[in-house]
Structure 1
Amino acid sequence: MEPWILGLTGGIGSGKTAVLDRFASLGVHVVDADQAARWVVEPGRPALLQIAERFGSGILLTDGALDRKGLRERIFDNPADRQWLEQLLHPLIRAEIARHLALAESPYAIMASPLLIESGQYRQVNRVLVVDVPVSLQVARTVARDQVSEEQVRAILKAQASREARLQHADDVLVNDRDLSWLGAEVERLHRFYLTLRGGQV
């Protein structure tokens, strides 16, 4: 039977990676949209050539890889460039994700994306799991992890879908505000439940 797809999302600092790692340790096939976004612009891939043609070879690092920070700065205030880049990359990222999901041999597979709701990717999955934490905890965790200011974190939060928007699309919510052993037990509980589902539905 073909695996059904669980979409996993959560705001910055919610602990998505820790949750994904636990699912993966239980043998669940995991595909990370952020990784797919990196794969499609690796040296030798056609998308990287097109980006260099549009923005000039200065957009590449000395080893030939994409200067992601430089590109972000270039498109930040330029809607036309950002739109061009999205039109180039989004179909490639979708195809890359689909290719990796097709390799799944577990009863269900996870597509993890921080922009699952904003990008409309939630329409491609059978069920949505939101990793949720109070905003104050998101801010504290991200400041500690990334060594950035609270203002920067709050600016990122504003750019992401609101907690309310994410929770509206959620079939399941994992509130990740305790320690890792508790989190592991919650993931195992969800995993046992997911194994009983056909096509992601009860």
Structure 2
Amino acid sequence: MITSVMLEAAATPTAPALVLRPWCVEDVSALVAASPDPGLEREDDGLRWVRAQERGWAAGVRFGFAVLEAARGAAPARLVGNVVLKEVASCKASAEVGYWTAAQARGRGVAPRALEALTVWSLDAFRADGLERLELLHQVDNPASCRVAAKCGYTYDRTLASAPPAYPLDGHLHVRRAAA
């Protein structure tokens, strides 16, 4: 069972390195400030969400990572996003990935760098359990997610029909397979 992992994504000429680590209670304030999710506007909402991430790790079915810009000099590490591997199960060939980037960090390559780190780790860590394919889904009105998917080698597979109320718009399914 995987209990904790820390991943890294290299710095670019215009952005600092990223550190990906499991969410913890100390992240709640930063989560509430950074999350684009309207359901995470209060501290108690953030705490419930972080506890759910911790339960996912403990159960071995959902692996959520806080994405932090690495500390530089006197500047502490700063929360800039989230990536997650979900729907993981032994002998199941596919799982889903997801992510979000804090508004103040968009346009600096956070999402593709964090997603690539998660992808490489996921396909390596769960290959022996049968994981061969990762799926990335997003609404059709999100071209930025199409660009992130393409940068990370997730190919467009098909358009999925909407399923209101949870999925009010059609969606794109992108897929990345493990190297042979």
Greater share of strand: 2
- TM-score, structure 2 as length reference: 0.33
- TM-score, structure 1 as length reference: 0.30
Greater share of helix: 1
Q: Structure with the greater relative contact order (CA < 8 A, sep ≥ 6): 1 or 2?
A: 1
